[in-house]
Amino acid sequence: MKKTKTKTKTKTKTTTTTKEVANKCSVQFLLNDQKVSIEAPSNITLLDLLRNQLGVKSPKCGCDVGDCGACTVILDGESIRSCLVLAPEVHGRKVVTLEGIMKKSEGEMSELQRYFLNKNSFQCGFCAPGIIVAATDLLEKNPHPTREEIVEGLSGNLCRCTGYTPIIDAVIDYIKQKS
Ligand code: FES
Ligand code: FES
């Protein structure tokens, strides 16, 4: 009898902790130049907030632990992995996703995206949004990177289909055309 009582107490404690973790918070930030104000669980990642609560589907969940780069977005001018950032951390900040990059091109593909398309850079396309966002950020900071700098700049974005050569070649072609 005594043992059963102890078990029941422990279970009640665990339930309370779960409720505390799931507390909601209010997050306001700029998403692709639009103000967003949303109530979200305080333990939700930016990736989940974007995909599941705001319907922004370009960031993908490849690993959810910061290894693959499929969830890459730009936060205050720096490309980051949105699976490693909690939603409350973006309060008052500026987030850009592939949708925002395309918005600048009036909803069409950006010029850089066209080069990826022309080079058949992607096969399944799962890694594409993260790589396009990372490459866009790279070129904004360094408009004329060397091949090595491009490889280094995109090294955090994994692609399991193409072997990377057509991805790097597309960025090189884009830079050549700009020069
Ligand atoms: S899903 Fe974020 S790095 Fe893989
Ligand atoms: S094209 Fe399939 S993972 Fe990159």
d(CA 115, CA 118): 5
Q: What pLDDT was estimated at residue 21?
A: 53
Residue 47 has phi, psi (to 5 degrees) of: -60, -50
| Ligand 2 binding pocket includes 92 (Cβ within 6 Å) | no
| Per-domain boundaries in the chain | 24-97, 102-178
Residues within 6 Å of ligand 1 by CB: 61-64, 66-71, 81, 83
Q: Tens digit of pLDDT for each residue in 3-21?
A: 333 333 333 333 444 444 5
Q: What pLDDT was estimated at residue 22?
A: 64
| Ligand 2 binding pocket includes 123 (Cβ within 6 Å) | yes
CATH of 102-178, one of 3.40.50.10240, 1.10.340.70, 1.10.150.20, 1.10.150.120: 1.10.150.120
Give the homologous superfamily in CATH for domain 24-97: Beta-grasp domain (3.10.20.30)
Half-sphere exposure of 109 (CA within 13 A, CB side): 11
Ligand 2: residue of 160, 164, 165, 168 to mutate (most ligand atoms within 8 A of CB) is 160
Chain position carrying tokens 């969940």: 61
Mean pLDDT in each 10-residue stretch from start to end of the chain (179 residues)? 38 42 88 97 97 98 98 98 98 98 87 96 97 98 97 97 96 94
The pTM is what?
0.87
Instruction: Say if residues 64 and 82 touch (Cβ distance below 8 Å).
Output: no
Instruction: Say if residues 159 and 131 touch (Cβ distance below 8 Å).
Output: yes
Q: Which atom of ligand 1 is nearest to the CA of 71?
A: 2
